[in-house]
Structure 1
Amino acid sequence: MDTTNEEGENSSSPTSAHPFRLFSLAEIEYATKNFDDELVIGQGGFGKVFKGYISSEEVVAIKRLDSMSDQGEPEFRAEIDMLSKLRHSHLVSLIGYCHENNEKILVYEYMSNGTLYHQLHKADTPLTWLTRLNIAIGAARGLAYLHTSRVIHRDVKSSNILLDENWAAMISDFGLSKIGPDNQPISCVNASVKGTFGYLDPEYFYTRKLTRKSDVYSYGIVLFELLSGRLAVDERNEEDECSLVRWAQRCVKERKLDQIVDSNIKGTISAKCLKRFAQIADRCVHNDPKERPSMTDVVASLQALSVLQEKSNIELSATTSFSWIVPKYLVYAINPNFDQSGTVIKGINKFRFDELKLDTWLGKGRYGMVYKGWVDKTEMPIAVKILHQKKPSNLETLKEFVHPNLVKLIGYSFQGERLCLSYEFMHKGNLGDLLRSGAVARLPLVTKVKIAVGIARGIVFLQKIPSQKRWSRVGESGLDRRKILLDEDFTAKLSDYDVSTLVDAEYNIAYPDIYGALELKSNLSGYEVVFVEVLTGERIYSSNRLEKIDRLFHQCGNGSLQHVAQLCFKVCNEVDSESKMVTMLNEHDVLIRSRLKLWLRNTHS
């Protein structure tokens, strides 16, 4: 990394600043057991990163800058200044800092899975292809948000992408970041060359003209790193393969894409997905910055790629592609050629019923019994629905319901003539139960927004499924809070729309709501109610209660939550929709936490 001195950063704020906690040196020493080397979880030219405990329950990452480091006071101040202005679900969160006795220490939220660099090049267990693809999308979304905020990161690399407990990607290390001018379509900053060799944009290196496309180039290297598992620069390789980008570009040009793929994930990527992923990476590292895509375009392309891979997982036969759908250990538990009933749903994986181990009865739904279980010889939890009705005739319709915000169908089997559908197990349960228990009210705003945006994306997708002869429109079906499920990462996924279409030949999941008379539909008006429930944590039993909540926000000058819900529904599929909503709802959230419950208690229903 170049150590050339540079002027301080532009202090112009993309968003309002957020205050940080100022830690004393004594608190930091206590949290790290006086900087005990046994707590070191990372080390670089900047110094060491320690795992620390600032309370019995709160674990943090503590970055102590070495006095001999290339990164000095300007970079330390730039990091604090930048993260005080930026908030996004794919940017690492700074909790506080310490600047005492010449110490420069930054305290971050703890990322339990470390850096992407470590997971790709040092970890014992290789990342799956789908995990890598999701990491790529998360990192791209973080960078797209930075670029829309006029921020150029300037040091994008795998060691600056952190991974939380759910493998969500977080962009980190903003010490070299620059804020560009707001009056140009492409921000261009004259800057001395800083960054990391192997990831450095050659155009920036030669001209010292820093643009957003410099970040795009570095991100393209990360994409090739994810695909190949190779280091950006590896002197152990032959001279013509030492540079990852040159070697990968040559493989793309010569159409030898199979040579790029990490041996740990070969056979798990569909041919179309591999080709398009390599093309996206190749465009990112184009020699001409004008030919490189924007990060917003990259996000859209990768999200489309994710949907393509999901569809490939379902459309290809179990004999050739089941390993793309579930972990390899699950493949051996399934005999894809076994046809117990004589019925085959082309493109959906088939289990024998005796391979399903049903453990816990979860309940009785409209269409049958639901159990928690697993597939024999595996530990992957699944939810199994055994339908009351005998074998339906239109099983092919199940293939239409593939989306990140719909509960994923893993496979099917038959118990006699009864159809059994196996789905991914949703660990957090359903929204209705979480609202009644008060769990939603305790969630941070970022998580509430993630849930709300996910629900909107699911409904919008369902509205686009082509209508069949007897299907009703999705907007006419009920929106049941118990059929909005949440996974470990609080991703919202809608359920039962596929089964209702299969059994009733229409969307029809309007279960009676025993908790109130307000009947919701799977459209914008129903979404508005659920949106307000998620944001406030309050179950809404009547339109009167909804109006009462909105009235409080009007009286306090915060604007209508229903209006924000309409906007969320409209922009839910945009790359920065979650960050937009978080920014818009910050003041609402303060009011919700400070006054809403008391106000509702003191007014008549």
Structure 2
Amino acid sequence: MTDRSNGVVILITLLNILVYKLRKLEEAQQTKLQELQTKLHEAQTKLQEVQETKIKELQTKLQEVETKLQEAEEAKLRELQTKLQEAQTKLLEADETKFQEAKQSIRLPLSVRQLCRRFTLKEIQWATNNFQEEFVIGRGGFGLVYKGIIDYKQGTVAIKRLKLLSKQGSKEFQTEIEMLSKFQHSHLVSLIGYCDDYEEMILVYDYMSRGTLADHLHKKVKKGDSCLPSLTWIQRLKICIGAAHGLDYLHTGTSTENRVIHRDVKSTNILLDENFAAKLSDFGLSKIGPANQTCTYVSTRVKGTPGYLDPYYVATHRLTRKTDVYAFGVVLFEVLCGRPALDMSRNEDQMNLAGWVQHCLQEGFLDKIIDPRLKWEISSDSLNTFVDIAVKCLHYQPKHRPTIAEVVVSLESALRCQVKSADYSLFEIMPIDYPQEEADCSVPEVKNTDHDKGYALTGIGTVNDPSAGHRNKQKLTFSERVSGIFSRTAQGLSGEGIANLSNVSHRKKKITLTKRIGGLLSVTARVFSVKRHAKTSMVPTSVIPTSMVPTPWNQDDVLKSSNLKSFAYNDLRIATRNFRPDSVLGEGGFGCVYKGWIDENTFAAETWGTGLAIAVKKLNIEGYQGYEAWLAEISCLGTLCHPNLVKLIGYCLEDERRFLVYEFMAHGSLDLHLFRRSANNQLLTWNLRMSIALGAAKGLAYLHSPEANVIHRDFKTSNILIDSNYEAKLSDFGMAKDGPDNERSHVSTRVMGTNGYVAPEYLATGHITMKSDVYSFGVVLLEILTGRRVNDRNRPKAEQDLVAWAKPHLHSKRKFSRVMDPQIEGQYPRKEAFQASCLVLACLSYDLKSRPDAKEVVEVLQKLQNSYNSERISGEALQKVQIHRHNIGEETLKSVAGTRAK
């Protein structure tokens, strides 16, 4: 019991001790908590004090920053105001400087000043009636374009007046002058001159009476407006070909080192003269591009006209000649579609012509894009050829686009396809007034010389009486061909006829036929006579024209009429030593020319070096001139004979072999003596040069005479041959054309000839006259005087085009000697030489009426020759007298000396 009590006491004691310790622990925790609260309070107090201090510091700093910023802004504002004031002052000074520069004359290169006429401001003001608004014919970024007349000799001109301080301004003004002065071509607009008087920059051009291509394609023609006729497909093709020729000249014909990239080809920059010949204009953006350099592009800021811009050029800033090709492709589709390149009035998918056209073609909707005015006019072959080349021009990759020369070839092919498929009919319906008993009506002559083919008359169309109330047709058929070319006898009538003429008692038809070069015949007059029934009061009022279809050449008739010797192939083979290479005299588009020998009497082949020397021209069947030129040569030289025409002895025709046999010209061609001087080619003296020029002129005058009536069409130095006596003989008649008859002033034909010799009006319009040959003669005479080629890429740029370089010097007695051949310097008579240079200027005149005819050229040259010979004879006689006097004087002195010695 005691133990249990002790245990309880101990337990209670332990519990009391535990309670005590727990109290002590609680008291300690309470004390610790109070301390922590005190410290937390102190910390909060300190933090609040720090925050308040920091805020005060930040507020102070912010206030300082705001103050500083305000001060900086005020300082910056004052600085900006100062700079703005300075900039305004500088701008005013710059404007004043620029204005003063614009007022002063632009210093143009010497070559430009020589080629351009400088007009005074008074002349320009007089021409435009002091820049009256009624004279304005165009507007652009450059300024205004006026129509005016400078003087009666110059005629109507276009005057472009620069806006002073414009963005395009003086840089484009100078570029335009330099480009058009340096590069001249029949399909580039001609720059007549400029005016750079104070406060003005003015350009004067030839006036293009038909406006721009865009005018004819896009401007709606008002009723009765004769200025803007709808262009036919053939007209459009010819315009495209002309523009392409101009672009091709810029790309390839300017020089071997420099090529011009137009950079703004568009329909508004293609001008049309009165004959609808195309001329490229506006060269303010043009760039000189690389030719033979390794770099094929020019890096430049993108410029041009929206709708025509090459996407590759826009993306890369790389300007190439193919950039112009792309723009020209857009122009081609403008021509085909009759739509502008960019038309904001259309739906979004049709605004851009190039994109819309390509989409239509991909979907097979070719008919959808054709100008409605052309749909019934274009042949399928012509259309396909045209569209094919136009699409290639628009290829994104420049390397896949054609060159502009390839474009020309395709366009000419499209034109040929169109002409071949055309209905060869007259376009006019002629009004006729019949008397009571008998009436004659004439139908205009059918002219189509675009092809060197014959044409057969196959039918006469309808004789109509409009009051008959319905269409009746009457058809005449013909038989009995004339030389296989034309039918000439009216055989009868077919068809229902015309009610009021059903009792016609007699119908007759008269046709006059004229022989043409190359075996061609042409109808020069058609007269219809109808005796109507006396009881009929109705009279016919119109005649629908005749129709023509092509027929082939008649080779047999040409050969029979030529009276030439027909050589066997074996004889020519022997005569030329089997056409050995060392017998070759020359080679051209026609083929090779070999030297040979034949018997003078029998014309049989002789051994080399005996008998009569001949030149045998072998036809290259695949050559450019080919069969038709061979036949034309036989037809022309087989019937014409003159001392200054090369003599055609005969021809050879065996299987596919064709040859022409001429008399041999011992001294070759004139160009060999002028340009390829060697030990074998004698340097031509003044007298020889004038003698050769006179002989060539006599030959040309004979061709142009009524007896021959022939246009040579390829008159040049290499076609003037020289015999053993240095007599000139004209050769190569493969391109010759029959001249116009009395009723026509010209012949319309495909442009052919040699670059540099072709007359500008022929190149521009396809109309060739006798005066076109005279222009070519002027070029040849200039080559004779200067000893230079008409085109020489080896000379400095300004001298490569002989005509452009020499022309400014020829009119001046003081300057003309600068262009004379240095090989004969001091050996020619100045008076006669200046007269010859004046003759050159007359022959090269752009005005046909100002050019002399070949007969007048002969007269001038004959007078020069006579004058020179008489002066030379007088000089020789005077020299003999002086020598005689000198001899007498010496004998007298010797006699006196002898007397003195004695």
TM-score normalised by the chain length of structure 1: 0.63
Q: How does 1:53-64 map to 2 (within 5 A)?
A: 53-57=149-153, 58-64=155-161
Deviation of the 1:101 alpha carbon: 2.2
Instruction: Select 2:136's aligned residue among 40, 48, 51.
Output: 40
Give, in whole Å, the separation in 2 of the partners of 1:80 and 1:601: 44
Give, in whole Å, the separation in 2 of the partners of 1:378 and 1:155: 48
The superposition leaves residues 81-101 of structure 1 with CA deviations (integer Å, 9 ceiling, x where unpaired) of: 111110111011101001122
The letter for the 2-side match of 1:190 is S
Deviation of the 1:259 alpha carbon: 1.5
Give, in whole Å, the separation in 2 of the partners of 1:520 and 1:587: 36
Are residues 379 and 92 of structure 1, via their aligned partners in 2, closer, same or farther at CA, if it must alter by over 3 Å? farther
Deviation of the 1:162 alpha carbon: 0.6
Give, in whole Å, the separation in 1 of the partners of 2:311 and 2:410: 24
The letter for the 2-side match of 1:334 is G
Are residues 134 and 395 of structure 1, via their aligned partners in 2, closer, same or farther at CA, if it must alter by over 3 Å? closer
CA contact (8 A) 1:463 1:473 kept: no
Residue 277 of structure 1 aligns to a residue in which SS? helix
Instruction: Select 1:127's aligned residue among 231, 250, 253.
Output: 231
Q: How does 1:470-489 map to 2 (within 5 A)?
A: 473-478=631-636
Q: Which has the larger radius of gyration?
A: 2
Deviation of the 1:164 alpha carbon: 0.8
The letter for the 2-side match of 1:141 is H
Residue 113 of structure 1 aligns to a residue in which SS? coil
Are residues 93 and 311 of structure 1, via their aligned partners in 2, closer, same or farther at CA, if it must alter by over 3 Å? same
Q: How does 1:68-467 map to 2 (within 5 A)?
A: 69-122=166-219, 123=221, 124-148=228-252, 149=254, 150-184=259-293, 187-313=296-422, 321=423, 327=427, 334-335=461-462, 338-341=475-478, 371=524, 377=542, 396-397=551-552, 463-465=625-627
Are residues 463 and 23 of structure 1, via their aligned partners in 2, closer, same or farther at CA, if it must alter by over 3 Å? closer
Give, in whole Å, the separation in 2 of the partners of 1:337 and 1:232: 47
Instruction: Select 1:599's aligned residue among 860, 864, 869.
Output: 864
Deviation of the 1:311 alpha carbon: 1.9
CA contact (8 A) 2:192 2:206 kept: yes
Extract unaligned runs of 5+ from structure 2: 1-106, 222-227, 431-445, 447-458, 463-472, 491-506, 529-540, 556-621, 652-659, 671-685, 695-714, 722-730, 736-750, 761-788, 792-800, 811-832, 841-860, 871-902
Are residues 188 and 369 of structure 1, via their aligned partners in 2, closer, same or farther at CA, if it must alter by over 3 Å? closer
Give, in whole Å, the separation in 2 of the partners of 1:235 and 1:581: 48
Deviation of the 1:55 alpha carbon: 1.0
Give, in whole Å, the separation in 1 of the partners of 2:144 and 2:632: 54
Deviation of the 1:270 alpha carbon: 0.7
Residue 139 of structure 2 aligns to a residue in which SS? strand
Are residues 16 and 44 of structure 1, via their aligned partners in 2, closer, same or farther at CA, if it must alter by over 3 Å? closer
Give, in whole Å, the separation in 1 of the partners of 2:623 and 2:513: 28
Structure 2 residue aligned with 1:29: 125
The letter for the 2-side match of 1:465 is Y
1:51 aligns with 2:147: yes
Q: How does 1:501-580 map to 2 (within 5 A)?
A: 510-511=639-640, 518=645, 548-549=689-690, 562-563=717-718
Give, in whole Å, the separation in 2 of the partners of 1:399 and 1:251: 47
Give, in whole Å, the separation in 2 of the partners of 1:383 and 1:40: 46
The superposition leaves residues 237-295 of structure 1 with CA deviations (integer Å, 9 ceiling, x where unpaired) of: 12111111011112222332222211111111110110110111111111111111111
Deviation of the 1:565 alpha carbon: 6.5
The letter for the 1-side match of 2:627 is I
Deviation of the 1:511 alpha carbon: 4.8
CA contact (8 A) 2:266 2:331 kept: yes
CA contact (8 A) 2:480 2:488 kept: no
Are residues 517 and 173 of structure 1, via their aligned partners in 2, closer, same or farther at CA, if it must alter by over 3 Å? closer
Are residues 563 and 462 of structure 1, via their aligned partners in 2, closer, same or farther at CA, if it must alter by over 3 Å? closer
Give, in whole Å, the separation in 2 of the partners of 1:248 and 1:576: 38
Deviation of the 1:232 alpha carbon: 0.6
Give, in whole Å, the separation in 2 of the partners of 1:27 and 1:134: 36
Give, in whole Å, the separation in 2 of the partners of 1:233 and 1:270: 27
The superposition leaves residues 190-235 of structure 1 with CA deviations (integer Å, 9 ceiling, x where unpaired) of: 1111111011111111211111011000000100001111011112
Are residues 283 and 185 of structure 1, via their aligned partners in 2, closer, same or farther at CA, if it must alter by over 3 Å? farther
CA contact (8 A) 1:462 1:474 kept: no
The superposition leaves residues 105-153 of structure 1 with CA deviations (integer Å, 9 ceiling, x where unpaired) of: 1000111111111111124421010000000000000001101130000
Structure 2 residue aligned with 1:541: none
Give, in whole Å, the separation in 2 of the partners of 1:397 and 1:350: 14
Deviation of the 1:175 alpha carbon: 0.5
Give, in whole Å, the separation in 1 of the partners of 2:525 and 2:338: 36
The superposition leaves residues 46-88 of structure 1 with CA deviations (integer Å, 9 ceiling, x where unpaired) of: 2221111111241111111223643211010000011111011
Q: Which has the higher contact order (CA 8 A, sep 6+)?
A: 1
Deviation of the 1:168 alpha carbon: 0.6
- Cα RMSD (Å): 4.9
Extract unaligned runs of 5+ from structure 1: 1-10, 314-320, 385-393, 401-459, 480-507, 533-544, 554-559
Give, in whole Å, the separation in 1 of the partners of 2:409 and 2:661: 24
CA contact (8 A) 2:461 2:544 kept: no
Residue 50 of structure 1 aligns to a residue in which SS? strand
Residue 144 of structure 2 aligns to a residue in which SS? strand
The superposition leaves residues 348-379 of structure 1 with CA deviations (integer Å, 9 ceiling, x where unpaired) of: 99999889999xx9989899996467999589
Identity %: 40
CA contact (8 A) 2:393 2:401 kept: yes
CA contact (8 A) 2:716 2:757 kept: no
Deviation of the 1:574 alpha carbon: 8.0
The superposition leaves residues 572-591 of structure 1 with CA deviations (integer Å, 9 ceiling, x where unpaired) of: 67888859957245578747
